[in-house]
Chain A
Amino acid sequence: MPDQVDYRWIADDPDALMMLDHAGTVLEWNDGAERMFGYSRTEAVGTRVHELVTVPGSEAEQDHFIAETTERGRGTFEALRRRNDGTLMYVVISGKVGQGAPDELYLLFSEKDVTQLKVQRDSKSLESKFRELLDSMPDGIVIVNPTGHILIANRQAERLFGYDRDELRARPVEDLLPLRFRNAHKGHRSHYFSAPRTRAMGAGLELYGLRKNGTEFPVEISLSPLKTEETPVVMSAIRDVSERRGFEQALQEKNLELLAANRAKDRFLASMSHELRTPLNAVIGFTGTLLMKLPGELNSEQTRQLEIVRNNARHLLALINDLLNLAKIEAGKVELNFEPTDCGALVGEIAASLRPQALSKGLELIVAMPVEAIVFETDRRALSQIVINLVGNAIKFTLHGSVRIDLALDDSGEKCRFVLSVSDTGPGIGEQELASLFEAFVQGQASRTKGVEGTGLGLHLSRKLAALLGGELSCTSAPGTGSVFTLTLPEP
Chain B
Amino acid sequence: MAARILIAEDHPASLELLRYLLAANGYDILSAEDGEAALDLARRDRPDLIICDLQMPKKNGYEVVRQLKSEPVLAAIPVVAVTAFSMIGDREQVLAAGFDGYLSKPIEPEQFVALIEQYLPPSLRQQHGGQ
Residues of A within 8 A of B (CB): 269-270, 273-275, 277-286, 288-289, 292, 294, 313, 317, 324, 328, 335
* Chain B contacts with A in 45-104, Cβ cutoff 8 A: 55, 83-88, 104
- Is the Cβ of B20 less than 8 Å from the Cβ of A281? no
Interface centre among B24, B55, B83, B87 (most CB of A within 10 A): B87
- Which residues of chain B are within 8 angstroms of A324 by Cβ–Cβ distance? 87
Q: Does B106 make an interface contact (CB < 8 A)?
A: yes
- Is the Cβ of B109 less than 8 Å from the Cβ of A288? yes
B90, closest chain A residue (CB): A270
In the complex, what's the smallest C-beta–C-beta distance from B1 to chain A, in angstroms? 22
In the complex, what's the smallest C-beta–C-beta distance from A334 to chain B, in angstroms? 8
State the CA gap A282–B107 with chains docked (Å). Answer: 9
Partner of B17, one of A274, A281, A292, A317: A281
Q: Does B2 make an interface contact (CB < 8 A)?
A: no
Given A278-B11, A279-B13, A281-B17, decide whether A270 and B110 contact each other with a Cβ distance below 8 A. Answer: no
- Which residues of chain A are within 8 angstroms of B84 by Cβ–Cβ distance? 273-275, 277-278, 281
- Is the Cβ of B85 less than 8 Å from the Cβ of A317? no
Interface pairs (7), CB distance under 8 Å: A280-B106, A281-B106, A281-B107, A284-B107, A285-B17, A288-B109, A294-B21
State the CA gap A283–B105 with chains docked (Å). Answer: 11
State the CA gap A286–B88 with chains docked (Å). Answer: 26
Interface residues on B, range: 20 to 34
In the complex, what's the smallest C-beta–C-beta distance from B9 to chain A, in angstroms? 10
- Is the Cβ of B20 less than 8 Å from the Cβ of A294? yes
Q: Does B14 make an interface contact (CB < 8 A)?
A: yes
- Is the Cβ of B17 less than 8 Å from the Cβ of A286? yes
- Which residues of chain A are within 8 angstroms of B108 by Cβ–Cβ distance? 284, 288
- Which residues of chain A are within 8 angstroms of B88 by Cβ–Cβ distance? 328, 335
State the CA gap A324–B107 with chains docked (Å). Answer: 18
- Is the Cβ of A282 less than 8 Å from the Cβ of B17? yes
- Which residues of chain B are within 8 angstroms of A313 by Cβ–Cβ distance? 106
A321, closest chain B residue (CB): B86
In the complex, what's the smallest C-beta–C-beta distance from B126 to chain A, in angstroms? 14
- Which residues of chain B are within 8 angstroms of A317 by Cβ–Cβ distance? 106
State the CA gap A284–B106 with chains docked (Å). Answer: 7
State the CA gap A101–B73 with chains docked (Å). Answer: 107
6 closest A-B pairs by beta carbon, nearest first, are A288-B109, A282-B13, A277-B84, A281-B106, A285-B17, A281-B105
- Is the Cβ of A292 less than 8 Å from the Cβ of B87? no
In the complex, what's the smallest C-beta–C-beta distance from A349 to chain B, in angstroms? 20
In the complex, what's the smallest C-beta–C-beta distance from B31 to chain A, in angstroms? 15
State the CA gap A269–B11 with chains docked (Å). Answer: 20
In the complex, what's the smallest C-beta–C-beta distance from B117 to chain A, in angstroms? 16
- Is the Cβ of A285 less than 8 Å from the Cβ of B107? yes
State the CA gap A169–B83 with chains docked (Å). Answer: 77
- Which residues of chain A are within 8 angstroms of B20 by Cβ–Cβ distance? 289, 294
B84, closest chain A residue (CB): A277
If A281-B17, A289-B17, A289-B24 are given as contacts, then 8 extra A-B residue pairs at C-beta distance below 8 Å, sorted by A number, are A277-B106, A281-B84, A282-B13, A285-B17, A285-B109, A288-B110, A289-B20, A313-B106
State the CA gap A316–B14 with chains docked (Å). Answer: 18
B111, closest chain A residue (CB): A288
* Chain B contacts with A in 17-59, Cβ cutoff 8 A: 17, 20-21, 24, 55
- Is the Cβ of A274 less than 8 Å from the Cβ of B85? yes
State the CA gap A391–B92 with chains docked (Å). Answer: 29
State the CA gap A283–B11 with chains docked (Å). Answer: 13
State the CA gap A273–B85 with chains docked (Å). Answer: 7
State the CA gap A281–B53 with chains docked (Å). Answer: 13
- Is the Cβ of A273 less than 8 Å from the Cβ of B110? no
- Is the Cβ of B87 less than 8 Å from the Cβ of A273? yes
- Which residues of chain B are within 8 angstroms of A270 by Cβ–Cβ distance? 85, 87
- Which residues of chain B are within 8 angstroms of A277 by Cβ–Cβ distance? 84, 86, 104-106
- Which residues of chain A are within 8 angstroms of B85 by Cβ–Cβ distance? 270, 273-274
State the CA gap A278–B84 with chains docked (Å). Answer: 6
In the complex, what's the smallest C-beta–C-beta distance from A295 to chain B, in angstroms? 9
State the CA gap A277–B86 with chains docked (Å). Answer: 9
B20, closest chain A residue (CB): A289
- Which residues of chain B are within 8 angstroms of A292 by Cβ–Cβ distance? 109-110
- Which residues of chain A are within 8 angstroms of B17 by Cβ–Cβ distance? 281-282, 285-286, 289
State the CA gap A328–B20 with chains docked (Å). Answer: 35
A276, closest chain B residue (CB): B84
Interface centre among B83, B86, B106, B109 (most CB of A within 10 A): B106
A277, closest chain B residue (CB): B84
State the CA gap A270–B86 with chains docked (Å). Answer: 8
In the complex, what's the smallest C-beta–C-beta distance from A362 to chain B, in angstroms? 25
State the CA gap A279–B11 with chains docked (Å). Answer: 9
Given A278-B11, A281-B14, decide whether A294 and B106 contact each other with a Cβ distance below 8 A. Answer: no
- Which residues of chain A are within 8 angstroms of B107 by Cβ–Cβ distance? 281, 284-285
